[in-house]
Structure 1
């Protein structure tokens, strides 16, 4: 079985490999769209640093920023997470199949 989604998920996994970016995504999942000011709360870093992390997430297709007024508002784009989840599900299924074959081999 060929991993259909892994290539599409590499940038997502790379972006989420950073703890700060993972926390930003988790916050957007839980709280919905948020401004830079709100997203920077609780982080020991500048708004500019948070903005850089958001641009990495945007490059991976995980978030989108808009400027409806004076503030930038960022929102999660869950479709890319769905593709990454499908990749992990496929890897998990292949791993389970491999373990099943090993079990059958050992028991024979």
Structure 2
């Protein structure tokens, strides 16, 4: 992951979500409730080793949580960090809407 330890939570989440494979992993975990890396690798066109690395990035971003069950690590989605990113994106959208409305008013004069 390229995000630094001192980066804010939104940056860490957005960096983690920048990869399409990680977004697919989140979608799959959300649909299943929980899964192991082996199960996820069987569902996606990615090796188990790559899945484990992607899950580690998602875990560092707080987007998934792993718990050991027997010899396997089972992963679940933690949606809370997505809320902070969604709030930030909503705030950006509001600012852009205001800017675009101002441009429209100027253009219509």
TM-score range, shorter chain: 0.7 to 0.9
Deviation of 1:45 after TM superposition, in Å, equals 2.8
Deviations 1:29-76 (A, max 9, x none): 222111112111132332121101000011111111110222100010
RMSD of the alignment, in Å?
1.2
Separation in 1, partners of 2:9, 2:74: 26
Question: Which residue does the alignment assign to 1:97?
Answer: 98
Separation in 2, partners of 1:16, 1:25: 9
Q: Name the SS for the 1:66 alignment partner.
A: strand
Question: Which residue does the alignment assign to 2:79?
Answer: 78
Question: Which residue does the alignment assign to 1:57?
Answer: 58
Question: Which residue does the alignment assign to 2:4?
Answer: none
Question: Which residue does the alignment assign to 1:29?
Answer: 30
Question: Which residue does the alignment assign to 2:9?
Answer: 8
Q: Name the SS for the 2:43 alignment partner.
A: coil
Deviation of 1:78 after TM superposition, in Å, equals 0.1
Deviation of 1:104 after TM superposition, in Å, equals 1.6
TM-score (norm 1): 0.87
Find runs of 4+ consecutive structure 1 residues off by over 4 angstroms: none
Separation in 1, partners of 2:11, 2:45: 28
> What are structure 1's unaligned runs of at least 5 residues?
1-6
Q: Name the SS for the 2:65 alignment partner.
A: strand
